[in-house]
C-alpha cells in the first residue's frame, strides 16, 4: 500500500489513495457464494448430528429420514434468513433467486 500523501500539492495522490481503498473495501464487502454455501452445508451437517444428541441409548441410534429432511429444512430456511440479512453482500439476483427457489422446493418436500 502506498503511503498517504500529506503535502497540499499531493491532492491527486490522496484522491487516488481514497479510490483504491474504497475499491478494496467494496471488494471485501461482496460475499463469496462458495463460502456462503460452505457455511450452509456445514451448519446443516452440524444440525443433523446434533439431532442425534438427544438419543437416550446407543441402541436407539439409526438413520432417520425425518431427521435428515428436518436438517435440510432448517438449513434452507437459514440460507434465506442469512441472504435477507446480508443482501448488500450478495447482490447477484439470479443466484439469490435460485437459492430462494431451492428453499421453496425443500419446504415442499418437507410437507409431503
Distance CA 9, CA 49 (A): 63
Distance CA 83, CA 38 (A): 14
Contact 36/80 with Cβ under 8 angstroms? Answer: no
Q: Where are the domains of the chain?
A: 1-30, 32-110
Contact 17/4 with Cβ under 8 angstroms? Answer: yes
pLDDT for residue 60: 86
**Per-position DSSP letters for 70-90, written without gaps between them:** HHHHHHHHHHHHHHHHTTTT-
- Phi, psi angles (nearest 5°) of residue 90: -115, 95
Distance CA 81, CA 104 (A): 13
Give the pLDDT of the chain (112 residues) as one tens digit per residue: 555 555 556 655 555 555 555 555 555 557 899 999 999 999 999 999 998 888 888 888 899 888 898 999 999 999 999 999 998 899 999 999 999 999 999 888 878 7
pLDDT for residue 6: 59
**Nearest Cα to Cα of residue 78 among 46, 103, 110, 105:** 103
Amino acid at each position: 500500500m502506498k503511503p498517504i500523501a500529506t503535502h497540499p500539492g499531493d491532492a491527486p495522490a490522496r484522491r487516488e489513495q481514497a479510490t483504491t481503498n474504497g475499491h478494496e473495501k467494496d471488494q471485501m464487502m461482496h460475499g463469496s457464494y462458495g463460502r456462503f454455501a460452505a457455511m450452509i452445508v456445514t451448519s446443516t451437517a452440524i444440525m443433523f448430528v446434533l439431532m442425534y444428541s438427544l438419543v437416550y441409548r446407543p441402541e436407539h441410534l439409526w438413520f432417520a429420514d425425518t431427521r435428515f429432511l428436518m436438517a435440510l429444512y432448517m438449513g434452507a430456511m437459514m440460507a434465506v434468513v442469512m441472504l435477507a440479512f446480508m443482501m448488500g453482500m450478495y447482490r447477484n439476483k439470479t443466484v439469490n433467486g435460485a437459492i430462494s427457489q431451492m428453499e421453496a422446493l425443500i419446504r415442499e418436500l418437507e410437507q409431503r
